[in-house]
Structure 1
Amino acid sequence: MSAVDFDINAQTRADVGKGASRRLRREGKVPAVLYGAGKEAASLILDHDEIFHHLEHEAFYSHILSVKVDGKAQKAVLKDVQRHPSKPKIQHVDFQRVSETDKIHMHVPLHFIGEDVAPGVKAGGLISHLMTSIDIICLAKDLPEYIEVDVSALETG
């Protein structure tokens, strides 16, 4: 787990639909939904700049988040982000509630270490990263921020 904790402040949203979502976006807000854990789905309003800055961190995508809905914190993971096709804007965010004892399915990034000392690289070879993330199923409390892959012993071929 990272030393970074992600707290997301949200408000409940009464108006739903295309028109209501467009009005929110014009006001600098992002429509979102929080679902799962056997509870009713909750329509939320997020601050665009806050969520945009969180999304710049790689750890945000594979981390247990604290979503504070009207002051009450709930644990969740990021499930989906919809972005504007041509502008740096977030259109919609989906969160899934989790309990630390729940098994969850997530994509976790791979961090490759030891590339500079690998014998194959020193001999003129290149390391090609065909996979940059991996699907895992684990308990929410055991969710890693990333998985390190040591490639320092790789030869060419």
Structure 2
Amino acid sequence: MANVFEFVAEARSASGSSAAKIVRRKGKVPAVIYGGNSAPEMLLLDHNEIVKHLVHEAVYSHVLDVKIDGKTEKAVLKHIQRHPAKPQILHMDFMRVDATHKLKVHVPLHFINEAISAGVKKGGVVTHAMVDVEVLCMPSALPEFIEVDLANADIGSTIHLSDLVLPASVEIAALQHGAEHDHPVVQIVKTRTTEEAE
């Protein structure tokens, strides 16, 4: 199997929407890589290869190898533009990674023990306010995902950003701005049936 963390690209010279349409018709995806001490560079990637890579959730929260005409750069995937109606990737943004500087990246949340949580057993319903969270950390400490354990969550309980159990040297980006940014992540709420039973 090909390395899902390696994106093979080629440099492109033509820019603009008309040039982008032409390359998309050829099964390519226009992209850009920016950041670090180098100038932004326009790229082309193979659409079918990208689709295979993006099936893997880990791609979104890993330092990737972007191979441009044989030269490899370390980067993270910052943005994907998808077609609103077709299963088509329209554009991608990669941000270069410097091993000596902190990254700000969205990492998926994995919710565990929902079915056996105290609140669900009493008839409550789990409502998710977030599916991922933006973290701040060194590239070497970037987690693939963050687990949210709901085993002890009861009806009426809310897990906030500050309640998340984080790996060492990983911080929640929003909490850098103060306690008012301690948003809810998930909660267990009463249903009409639960209220009627009470």
> Which TM-score applies when normalising by structure 1?
0.92
Residue of structure 2 in register with 1:102 after alignment: 101
| Distance (whole Å) between structure 2 residues aligned to residue 44 and residue 5 of structure 1 | 18
Question: 1:90 maps to what in 2?
Answer: 89
Aligned residue number for residue 159 of structure 2: none
The match for 1:24 is: 23
Taking CA–CA contacts closer than 8 Å with sequence separation of 6 or more, which of the two structures ends up with the larger relative contact order? Answer: 1
Q: Is the 8 A contact 2:4 2:53 kept in 1?
A: no
Deviation at residue 154 of structure 1 after TM alignment: 1.2
- Where do 1:121-132 residues align within 5 Å? 121-132=120-131
1:21 to partner: Cα distance: 1.2
Deviation at 1:95, TM superposition (A): 0.3
Matching of residues 1-157 of structure 1 within 5 Å: 5-157=4-156
| 1:36 CA drift (Å) | 0.6
Distance in 2 of aligned mates of 1:39 and 1:13: 16
- Please tell me whether Structure 1 or Structure 2 has the larger radius of gyration of its CA atoms: 2
Q: CA deviation at 1:47?
A: 0.2
Output the CA distance in 2 between the equivalents of 1:132 and 1:17.
Answer: 33
Identity %: 51
**Aligned-pair CA distance for 1:5:** 4.6
Contact 2:62 2:76 in 1 (8 A): yes
- In the alignment, the residues of structure 1 paired with residue 149 and residue 4 of structure 2 have an alpha-carbon distance, to the nearest angstrom, of 27
> 1:135: how far off?
1.5
Q: Gaps spanning 5+ residues in structure 2: where?
A: 157-198
User: Contact 1:101–1:141 (CA<8 Å) still a contact in 2?
Assistant: no
Name the Cα RMSD after superposition: 1.3
Q: Which runs of 4+ in 1 moved over 3 A?
A: none
Post-superposition offset of 1:148: 0.3
Distance 1:59 1:22 in 2: 29
Distance 1:136 1:53 in 2: 26
Post-superposition offset of 1:56: 2.2
The offset of 1:18, in angstroms, is 2.0
| Superposition deviation, residue 147 in structure 1 | 0.2
Secondary structure, counterpart of 1:77 in structure 2: strand
Work out the CA distance in 1 between the residues paired with 2:90 and 2:4: 23
Where does structure 1 lack aligned partners over 5 or more consecutive residues? none
Task: Name the CA distance, whole Å, in 1 between partners of 2:118 and 2:84.
Answer: 42
Kept in 1, the 8 Å contact 2:64–2:76? The answer is yes
Equivalent-residue separation in structure 1 for 2:28 and 2:130 (angstroms):
34
Matched AA of 2:36: A
